[in-house]
Every structure is written in C-alpha cells, then in structure tokens.
Amino acid sequence: MAAWVENEARRTNRNLLIVNILLLAAVIVLISADARYYLNFFLGCQKIEPAELIALTSAAQRTRTFVTVSGSKSAKTGYQDIENSVQKSTGRVISTTVKDEYVLLKVGDRVLMVKADPGAEKLEYSGELVKTEERIQQDLIQTLSARNPELGKMILPVTLNAADYREQGYWVLGVSVPVLLLAGWNILKGFRRISEPQTTRVWSQLAALGDPQQLSLQIETEEHQPHPRYGKLHMTQSWLLQRSTFSTWVSPVDDLAWVYKKVTKHSVNFIPTGKTYALILVGRHRQRVEAQMREKEVNALLGTLAARVPWAIYGFSQQIKTAWDKDPAGFVAAVDSRRQSAAKAVGSSAQS
C-alpha cells in the first residue's frame, strides 16, 4: 500500500475540510448574530400604518424593521453628518461631504426622526427603524425640545434610517457570498477526495514521476532515516519534501531544473524593517516551491544542491525567467543536455 502518499493525502484533505467548515460556520454565525437585519434585508421594506408606528416604544417590537412610512409634513432640522477629507501631511481639511441629514416627518399627531440622504424634503421614506442614537438625543432632540417643548414631546422614540441602512447588508453579502461559494466548493472537493485520494495534488505529483505506490515506499523509508532540514524543507537521500497546511510538495533532488535565492525587503512607511529569505526550487515537471528559511540555510542549501545537481540552472535573471516562461520544455532539454555533458565528463575522468 502507498502508505506515505495516502497519509499525506488524508492530512491535506483533513485540513482542507476543517478550515472550510470553520469558514462556513463563521459566516453562518456572523449572519445569525444579526438575523433580524438580514431577514429584513432580503424581504425589503413593508408599509407601516401611522397608528402602529406611533404605538412603538422600541424598534425591537417589530420583526419587520425595514418599513415605508408616509407622513403629512416634513421639515429639515439642519443637522447633518459631515465627512471631512484631511490632508495627511498637514492635517488640513481639504474637502467636506454631506453624508446624510436629519428630517422631521409628521405622522398622525407625532413626529418621526428620519436620517435621510441629502436632498429635497419628501413625505414618504423607506428605511430601517432603529434606536435613536445617543448623540442625536443629546445634540438634536434635546436642542429642539429646549426651543419647542411641545415638539420635543411629539418626537417618537425611534429613528428611521433611510440613508445607509442597506450598506451593512451589501458589505456582508459582498464578502460572505464568495466565501460561502469557496468554502462550499472546497468542502465538496474534500469529500470527493476522501473516496478518491488520487485526485490530491501530492498523488498527482508522484503519478507524474512513476508508480505512486513504489515511490511512496521509497520516500517513507528515506524520510525515517537521518537527513538535513532547511526551514520546513526536508532533503532526504533522493527527495525534497515540504509540507504546508493544504498540500505537500515533493520532487526528486535530481529533477531540479532551476534554483534561485529570493530576498524580500520589508518596510513600514518607507522605513526598512528587515528581510526574509527563500529558495525557489523548480523541477523538470514544472513542480515549484518557495522554501522560506534563514539566509544561512539558503546559502548552505544552495551549495549542497550545486554540488549534488550541477546541471541545474542557478540564479535569477529576467533572461532565465523568460526562457522558462516561454519554453519550459526547451529549458528542461537544455538542462538535460548539461546533465549528459556532466555525465560524459565524469565518465572520461574515470577512464583516464
């Protein structure tokens, strides 16, 4: 039995299922935490009669909080939510935008506070019934009540948000739908792989090299023997291995076609914070991995591979990258030619 490759297939598939089931659960929990809002988001606005609206003491009394309200009169309060654009270098306000404004809508013998988009006064608004914000209570309603106590008594204890009440739904929808589709697809793929481990990436890699069962036995035997490790990359007698959460990269050492060092500089606000190092390994069957490790390990592994696989191409240049991208088969053929030349040289040296 191909124990090694089957174990790796199970490991990567198990991780795929766990992560995506958790992802799916997280989206469900996120939506369930505000289920009433999303129910209303999908059902839309419902006409509410003045008598029912006036009887409300809290928006939570209704399941359908997305409503359409008609009034007999409306008046702007002059209170607006302003968004400032500030220049980072100087802190100076360079522009202002009116996000929304607050309107008083006469409904029966009471007054409803409406958070509305800037524009002309209307007699009908659609939005979400919400608890009146503390700042609106303090900055607006208390001021209106001080000027006109009778008006203050008429204002209802809820606000109709007719401005940005759908933004939360659109934002969550934009994020959750792709996540749900991705998680669902990966879960289906995971369950399919349970019965068909041959569809996993690691099995496909071995299948491209030969009989997966025979190669698996060889890899398992060599991995249990003492061997050097560079970061997460294992180098056995014949194989290079690196495990990640969802995959296992495997390649015969002698199959390497192109190897180069990658240095990534990091900075915060243009201030250098350090570098990370990696070795890029590309095999003749286009198997590629980026193995991150310390610079000392990168240099040590480069030296080991250069001695072990001298026919591979080492180093990076745009010319080498273009050659690989345009004609990988020709690239591999050139590497094979170098290998044959190296073998002939070794043979001639042995004969002499």
Which domain CATH number covers 267?
A: 2.30.29.30
Q: How far is CA 151 from CA 58, 139, 146, in A?
A: 19, 15, 9
CB atoms near residue 63 (< 10 Å) = 10
Q: What pLDDT sits at residue 284? A: 92
Is 219 inside any structural domain?
Answer: no
CA-CA distance, 148 to 145, in Å (whole number)?
A: 5
> Whole domain around residue 334: which residue ranges?
227-351
Please state the rounded mean pLDDT for residues 153-173: 94
CA-CA distance, 114 to 129, in Å (whole number)?
A: 9
- Write b or e for each residue in 119-142: b if 16 or more Cβ atoms lie within 10 A of its Cβ, otherwise e: eeeeeebbbbbbebeeebbeebbe
Regarding whether 154 and 231 lie in a shared domain, the answer is no
Please enumerate, as own/partner, the contacts of 15-22 that have beta carbons within 8 Å and a separation of 24 or more: 15/245, 15/246, 16/186, 16/189, 16/190, 16/193, 16/246, 17/186, 17/187, 17/190, 17/191, 19/186, 19/245, 19/246, 20/182, 20/183, 20/186, 20/187, 20/190, 21/183, 21/187
Closest CA to 230 of 187, 278, 189: 278
Q: What pLDDT sits at residue 133? A: 93
Mean pLDDT of the chain: 91
Regarding whether 154 and 232 lie in a shared domain, the answer is no
Q: What pLDDT sits at residue 22? A: 96
Is 167 inside any structural domain?
Answer: no
CA-CA distance, 158 to 35, in Å (whole number)?
A: 20
**Res. 272: pLDDT tops 80:** yes
Secondary structure of 221-255 as H, E, C letters:
HHHCCCCCEECCEEECCCEEEEECCCCEEEEEHHH
Regarding whether 145 and 232 lie in a shared domain, the answer is no
Is 131 inside any structural domain?
Answer: yes
Please enumerate, as own/partner, the contacts of 144-148 that have beta carbons within 8 Å and a separation of 24 or more: 144/77
Residues 6+ apart with CB under 8 A from 33: none
CB atoms near residue 81 (< 10 Å) = 16
CB atoms near residue 300 (< 10 Å) = 14
Task: Out of 161, 187, 213, pick the residue that ends a domain.
Answer: 161
Of the ranges 32-36, 192-196, 293-297, which one carries the lowest mean pLDDT score? Answer: 192-196
**Res. 250: pLDDT tops 90:** yes
In three-state secondary structure terms, 72 is coil
CA-CA distance, 237 to 228, in Å (whole number)?
A: 9
**Total domain count for the chain?**
2
CA-CA distance, 108 to 124, in Å (whole number)?
A: 13
Regarding whether 250 and 134 lie in a shared domain, the answer is no
Regarding whether 68 and 144 lie in a shared domain, the answer is yes
Looking at per-residue confidence, does 65 or 270 come out higher? 65
Please state the rounded mean pLDDT for residues 252-280: 91
Regarding whether 233 and 142 lie in a shared domain, the answer is no
Q: How confident is the model at residue 268 (pLDDT cuts 50, 70, 90)?
A: confident
Q: What pLDDT, in 10s, does the model give residues 298-341? A: 999 999 999 999 999 999 999 999 999 999 999 999 999 999 98
Please state the rounded mean pLDDT for residues 213-219: 92
Is 58 inside any structural domain?
Answer: no
- State residue 62 phi and psi, 5-degree precision: -115, 140
Closest CA to 60 of 147, 140, 131: 131
Q: What pLDDT sits at residue 323? A: 96
Looking at per-residue confidence, does 240 or 196 come out higher? 240
Q: What pLDDT sits at residue 83? A: 84
The pairing of beta strand 233-235 with beta strand 229-230: antiparallel
Please state the rounded mean pLDDT for residues 269-292: 91
Q: What pLDDT sits at residue 273? A: 86
Q: How confident is the model at residue 349 (pLDDT cuts 50, 70, 90)?
A: low
Is 258 inside any structural domain?
Answer: yes
Q: How confident is the model at residue 2 (pLDDT cuts 50, 70, 90)?
A: low
Please state the rounded mean pLDDT for residues 189-212: 89
Q: What pLDDT, in 10s, does the model give residues 125-137? A: 999 999 999 999 9
CB atoms near residue 186 (< 10 Å) = 18
Regarding whether 231 and 340 lie in a shared domain, the answer is yes
**Res. 213: pLDDT tops 60:** yes
Task: Out of 128, 161, 194, pick the residue that ends a domain.
Answer: 161
Q: What pLDDT, in 10s, does the model give residues 169-195? A: 999 999 999 999 999 999 999 999 888
Question: Nearest 5 degrees, angle CA 176-CA 180-CA 185?
Answer: 155
Task: Find where tokens 């997280």 sit.
Answer: 26
Q: What pLDDT sits at residue 1? A: 45
**Res. 351: pLDDT tops 60:** no
Is 292 inside any structural domain?
Answer: yes
Q: What pLDDT, in 10s, does the model give residues 112-121? A: 999 999 987 8
Is 316 inside any structural domain?
Answer: yes
Q: What pLDDT, in 10s, does the model give residues 39-48? A: 999 999 999 9
Residue 26: both structure tokens together: 């997280």
CB atoms near residue 29 (< 10 Å) = 9
Task: Out of 138, 161, 184, pick the residue that ends a domain.
Answer: 161
Residues above pLDDT 70, as percent of the chain: 97
Q: How confident is the model at residue 347 (pLDDT cuts 50, 70, 90)?
A: low
Is 111 inside any structural domain?
Answer: yes
